[in-house]
Amino acid sequence: MGASTEEKTGVFDMRELPGGKPCPDCDGLGQLRFDSENINEKFEKEKQTVISACPRCHGTGYVPAG
Protein backbone atom coordinates (compact mmCIF):
# COMPACT_ATOMS: atom_id res chain seq x y z
CA MET A 1 0.00 0.00 0.00
CA GLY A 2 3.03 2.29 0.14
CA ALA A 3 3.24 2.57 -3.67
CA SER A 4 3.03 6.07 -5.07
CA THR A 5 0.89 7.10 -8.03
CA GLU A 6 4.01 7.21 -10.22
CA GLU A 7 4.72 3.54 -9.56
CA LYS A 8 1.15 2.51 -10.34
CA THR A 9 0.84 4.41 -13.62
CA GLY A 10 4.35 3.85 -14.96
CA VAL A 11 5.07 7.58 -15.24
CA PHE A 12 8.75 8.41 -15.53
CA ASP A 13 10.98 11.34 -16.38
CA MET A 14 12.84 10.89 -19.69
CA ARG A 15 15.72 12.98 -18.34
CA GLU A 16 16.46 10.17 -15.91
CA LEU A 17 17.03 7.65 -18.73
CA PRO A 18 20.67 7.10 -19.69
CA GLY A 19 21.97 7.91 -23.15
CA GLY A 20 19.64 10.72 -24.18
CA LYS A 21 20.50 14.36 -24.72
CA PRO A 22 18.22 17.34 -25.41
CA CYS A 23 17.30 17.75 -29.06
CA PRO A 24 19.26 20.66 -30.61
CA ASP A 25 16.42 21.54 -33.02
CA CYS A 26 13.72 22.12 -30.40
CA ASP A 27 15.96 22.72 -27.34
CA GLY A 28 14.45 19.71 -25.58
CA LEU A 29 10.85 20.95 -25.80
CA GLY A 30 9.65 18.35 -28.31
CA GLN A 31 7.82 20.94 -30.39
CA LEU A 32 8.61 23.59 -32.96
CA ARG A 33 6.83 26.94 -33.08
CA PHE A 34 6.48 29.09 -36.19
CA ASP A 35 5.04 32.59 -36.21
CA SER A 36 2.81 33.14 -39.21
CA GLU A 37 1.07 36.19 -40.66
CA ASN A 38 -1.89 35.90 -43.01
CA ILE A 39 -4.15 38.37 -44.78
CA ASN A 40 -7.85 37.55 -44.45
CA GLU A 41 -10.66 38.33 -46.89
CA LYS A 42 -11.09 41.79 -45.31
CA PHE A 43 -7.40 42.54 -45.94
CA GLU A 44 -6.65 42.45 -42.22
CA LYS A 45 -3.38 41.01 -40.99
CA GLU A 46 -3.82 37.97 -38.75
CA LYS A 47 -0.98 36.62 -36.64
CA GLN A 48 -0.87 33.08 -35.36
CA THR A 49 1.64 30.63 -33.96
CA VAL A 50 1.80 27.19 -35.55
CA ILE A 51 2.97 24.42 -33.18
CA SER A 52 4.12 21.05 -34.50
CA ALA A 53 5.98 18.06 -33.13
CA CYS A 54 9.73 18.15 -33.73
CA PRO A 55 10.57 15.76 -36.59
CA ARG A 56 14.11 15.09 -35.32
CA CYS A 57 13.16 13.79 -31.85
CA HIS A 58 9.56 12.78 -32.74
CA GLY A 59 8.15 15.05 -30.02
CA THR A 60 10.11 13.52 -27.13
CA GLY A 61 12.61 16.38 -26.72
CA TYR A 62 15.55 13.99 -26.62
CA VAL A 63 17.78 12.35 -29.21
CA PRO A 64 20.00 9.29 -28.72
CA ALA A 65 23.48 10.11 -27.46
CA GLY A 66 26.17 9.47 -29.96
Q: Label the pairing between strands 31-39 and 20-22.
A: unpaired
Predicted structure pTM score? 0.55
Q: Which residues contact 56 (CB under 8 A, 6 or more apart)?
A: 23, 24, 25, 26, 63
Mean pLDDT score of the chain, rounded to an integer? 81
Task: Give the whole-number percent of the chain exceeding pLDDT 90.
Answer: 41
Q: How confident is the model at residue 45 (pLDDT cuts 50, 70, 90)?
A: very high
Please name the helix (run of DSSP H) or strand (run of DSSP E) that holds residue 6, with its range, or none.
helix 5-9
- H/E stretch holding 7: helix 5-9
Q: What's the mean pLDDT in 8-19? A: 62
Rg (CA), the chain: 19
